[in-house]
């Protein structure tokens, strides 16, 4: 039978943490792993008291390393203690998470092996502090745009999963609050099912115990979300330059071939030669640049953190080809429609239309071309 571990990252905890841990262990048979993330000597007595409680252990950081690192310290302990024969429940130390909800998350993790279970809060109530509402709304919208999945609570620290995900959790980059968003991004990329459980929304003293900094930590979260689009823009620019360079090389080469064949008497002058030469150079350059773009996107943009291998590349290449055909057709039709309706220059219309299609291309590549979803994510109402 799998052993249950409860991981609590703690930085300068509010009074009452010991009581909450006792309540948790009364409701959930488990071993509680509290990570002191550099709280300092003023909090030494609290952590010593926890370390003396039955079924509890305290792991210490001598200096503050961030929530992400604190969670990883707990994950390493569980991996060394029980490995894959474990169930993990992560919760915050500020009293927001109820033991009954934690038990439900663990039950759901048991029902969905290999899945990440999220305890999702309701942020519509008036009692929700503005810091929590602001941070989660910003990250939720941006995560939906660039991550391909919508969750109303991307920053929830109430999460459960089994030991099969421990290695993955330790490989995911991130040190502070952005780590939890990075976990969601990697899970969506690698096809790890994400199941949501609705939980009660509890705030103690207007959430005064939180160490989330609305501006700085929101920037960190958004920076994590923009990493993928940033790399996508870079690879697109590189391949656009490559496409232009190859077009020039092929067009000049075809021109020289035509001159040679004409001088040798194998080719007669004609009005359609220039068009055929340009069309051939365009196709040749686009095929090569698109191949390079596929490889760069697969390796650098959408498969970050994936184990080495070529599994699924044929399926992805076929989907990428279909997307390229669709993008070219959509670009031609939309440029024609916009330039005709608004009586603008085709070049100006192309700038707008291709900019919009660029966004759709990123989304489609993330959620369809390069996604290897093993199981469908969903919401479990319990």
Q: Are 318 and 288 in contact (CB under 8 A)?
A: no
DSSP letter, residue 41:
G
Position with higher pLDDT, 283 vs 84: 84
Q: Which token pair is 139? A: 């990250």
The whole-angstrom separation of Cα 303 and Cα 128 is: 36
- For residue 306, pLDDT beyond 60: no
Query: Which CATH entry fits the domain spanning 3-212: 3.90.550.10, 1.20.120.160, 2.60.40.10, 1.20.1540.10?
Result: 3.90.550.10
Domain borders along the chain are: 3-212, 227-369
Residue 342 — very low, low, confident or very high, per pLDDT cuts 50/70/90?
A: confident
The whole-angstrom separation of Cα 66 and Cα 166 is: 19
The whole-angstrom separation of Cα 320 and Cα 368 is: 9
Q: Which token pair is 307? A: 């184990």
Mean pLDDT on 88-113: 90
pTM of the model: 0.61
Residue 210 — very low, low, confident or very high, per pLDDT cuts 50/70/90?
A: low
Calculate the alpha carbon distances from 68 to 30, 74, 224 in Å: 22, 10, 13
pLDDT at residue number 381: 47
DSSP letter, residue 245:
H
pLDDT tens for 220-276 read: 555 555 566 667 777 888 888 887 788 788 878 887 887 777 676 655 555 556 667
Q: Are 35 and 7 in contact (CB under 8 A)?
A: yes
Percent of the chain with pLDDT over 90: 26
């Amino acid at each position: 039978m799998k052993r249950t571990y409860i991981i609590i990252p703690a930085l300068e905890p509010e009074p009452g943490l010991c009581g909450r841990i006792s309540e948790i262990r009364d409701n959930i048979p488990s071993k509680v792993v509290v990570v002191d993330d550099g709280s300092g000597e003023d909090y030494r007595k609290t952590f010593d008291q926890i370390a003396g409680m039955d079924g509890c252990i305290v792991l210490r950081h001598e200096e503050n390393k961030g929530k992400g690192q604190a969670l990883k310290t707990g994950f390493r302990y569980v991996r060394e203690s029980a490995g894959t024969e474990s169930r993990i429940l992560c919760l915050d130390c500020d009293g927001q998470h109820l033991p009954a909800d934690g038990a439900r998350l663990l039950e759901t993790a048991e029902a969905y092996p290999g899945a990440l279970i999220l305890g999702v809060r309701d942020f519509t109530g008036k009692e929700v502090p503005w810091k929590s509402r602001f941070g989660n709304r910003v990250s939720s919208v941006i995560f939906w745009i660039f991550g391909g999945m919508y969750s109303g609570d991307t920053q929830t620290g109430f999460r459960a999963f089994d030991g099969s995900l421990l290695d993955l959790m330790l490989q995911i980059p991130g040190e502070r609050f952005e780590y939890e968003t990075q976990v969601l991004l990697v899970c969506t990329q690698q096809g790890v099912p994400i199941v949501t459980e609705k939980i009660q929304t509890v705030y103690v003293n207007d959430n005064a115990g939180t160490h989330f900094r609305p501006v700085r930590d929101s920037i960190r979260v958004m920076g994590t979300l923009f990493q993928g689009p940033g790399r996508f823009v870079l690879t697109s620019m590189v391949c656009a330059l490559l496409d232009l360079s190859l077009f020039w090389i092929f067009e000049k080469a075809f021109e020289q071939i035509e001159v040679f064949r004409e001088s040798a008497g194998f080719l007669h002058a004609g009005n359609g030669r220039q068009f055929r030469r340009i069309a051939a150079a365009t196709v040749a350059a686009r095929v090569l640049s698109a191949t390079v773009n596929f490889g760069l996107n697969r390796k650098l943009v959408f498969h970050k953190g994936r184990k080495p291998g070529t599994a699924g590349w044929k399926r992805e290449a076929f989907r990428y080809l279909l997307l390229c055909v669709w993008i070219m057709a959509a670009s031609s039709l939309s440029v024609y429609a916009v330039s005709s309706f608004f009586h603008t220059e085709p070049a100006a219309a192309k700038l707008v239309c291709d900019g919009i299609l660029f966004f759709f291309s990123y989304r489609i590549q993330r959620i369809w071309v390069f996604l290897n979803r093993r199981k469908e994510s969903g919401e479990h109402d319990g």
